[in-house]
Amino acid sequence: MLGLLAFLAFVLLTLVGFLLKAFSPVEGSHMERSGSVIMDVGVLSLVVLNCFIVLPALALFAWKRMFMIWQHI
């Protein structure tokens, strides 16, 4: 549950960065650069969250299921 909240927070952060970049008045402005940085941080955080939280949790879940199946054989 906590991983889902973190995932949604980083998706929202990425969306905010995209909106800042898309609606900046002038190309190369501070608003556009800030949007790019916020968007990059959001995407990087999503990748890190997947690598260190989601995939290990999924692997442990699958390992537990396989162990239970092997116990019944």
Residue 28: per-residue pLDDT: 86
Query: Can you read off the two tokens belonging to residue 32?
Result: 């556009």
Phi-psi region of 13 (alpha: psi -120 to 50; beta: other; left: phi over 0): alpha
Is 39 exposed, middle or buried, given 0-12, 13-18 or 19+ CB atoms closer than 10 A?
buried
10 Å Cβ neighbour count for 42?
Answer: 20
- Tens-digit pLDDT profile for the chain (73 aa)? 777 899 999 999 999 999 999 998 888 899 999 999 999 999 999 999 999 988 999 999 999 999 998 988 7
